[in-house]
Amino acid sequence: MGLQKIKNTYSFLLSINALLFIGCSQEVDEDKAMPSSRESLSLKKEAKQGRHIFKDGSVYEGQLVMGEPNGYGKHELVNGDIYEGQYKNGLAHGHGTMKYKSDDKLDQYVGSWKSGKRNGFGTLVILDGSTLVGDWKNDSMYIGEYKSPNGVLMSGKWEGEYLSEGFMKLEDGREYSGTFKNQGLFERGSLRTIGGEHYSGDFQNNEFSGQGILSLIDGSIFIGSFKLGVYDGYGILKESDGAVYSGEFVNGVPDGEGTQSDFSGAVYSGSWFRGEKEGLGTLNFGDGTSFTGQFKNGLAMEGLYDWGDGIYTDSYQNENGDWLDRE
């Protein structure tokens, strides 16, 4: 299911998020009082061009009110990153651009800021060509889209670095829509492959697990229980040739009690083992005749053949499936 590729993508996003948190912090002189909103309106009219040096030694040049960054300006951080945009009370606030010079993965963030943090609509551009576009809150994107040059696309609601609900297109062309859990793994939803297979249901570790419906490329459909990506438990399998099996499955094949009908009208009800009729069962041929007895490896071994006219014979099948009578 490409679990490792998904983990690698999320690991990359996690490292990006950590770098953003470190790179965007700004320090304000603590001994400066915050003016009231009414005072701010008045002070903005009195903004003058100038320079402000933060406690960490970084330099801001732009509009100042009472010596503090207010309005439009440029801030060169000590790590080499450069922010240019709007300021309020010494912090990035409004629209601005942060250009990252201190890390070889990040290019720039362009968008809205609030009290020194990314907040509102914005775009983060990564040097490999990936982008994160959406609504941000407290430095993290919570609704938006991640797109990479290799075709990976993730869109929807985010919790930190991981999707909680939305859409994901993987590098191999598979598309998933639904909910996520445990650091971005599929929880419940719909998965389509580039070849046309479609699964809807429960997942565990990105494998089909729990109740679901799987439509295969050849037209077969399975409805029932899955475990580790295969049929396991009770289910109904309708195959492309018209055969229908309902009953128990183990490791992807009939195993236990089940009933199968085929295109000829024949119906078998009884025991199965590793995908073959095995044990006690009844095979009804749909024309008034039937066989009841023991099966092994899919063939009748011993039992009574009912000819439908009151005649019964002790019959079996040879290795080629031909019916024979014991004398």
Q: Are 271 and 278 in contact (CB under 8 A)?
A: yes
What is the rounded CA–CA span in Å between residue 78 and residue 57? 7
Q: Where are the domains of the chain?
A: 1-141
Q: For the purposes of burial, counting CB atoms within 10 Å of the CB of 326, is it exposed (0-12), middle (13-18) or buried (19 or more)? A: exposed
DSSP assignment of 222-250 equals EEEEEETTEEEEEEEEE-TTS-EEEEEEE
Please list the pLDDT of the chain residue by residue as tens digits (327 residues).
Answer: 455 666 566 666 656 665 555 444 444 443 333 343 444 444 445 668 999 999 999 999 999 998 899 999 999 999 999 999 999 999 999 999 999 998 889 999 999 999 999 999 999 999 999 999 999 999 999 999 999 999 999 999 999 889 999 999 999 999 999 999 988 899 999 999 988 999 999 999 999 999 999 999 999 999 999 999 999 999 999 999 999 999 999 999 999 999 999 988 999 999 999 999 999 999 999 999 999 999 999 999 999 999 999 999 999 999 999 999 997
pLDDT at 6 (0 to 100) = 62
Q: Which residue has the tokens 């590729």?
A: 5
Q: Are 220 and 240 in contact (CB under 8 A)?
A: yes
CA 130-83-23 angle, to 5 degrees, is: 65
Q: What's the pLDDT at 48?
A: 87
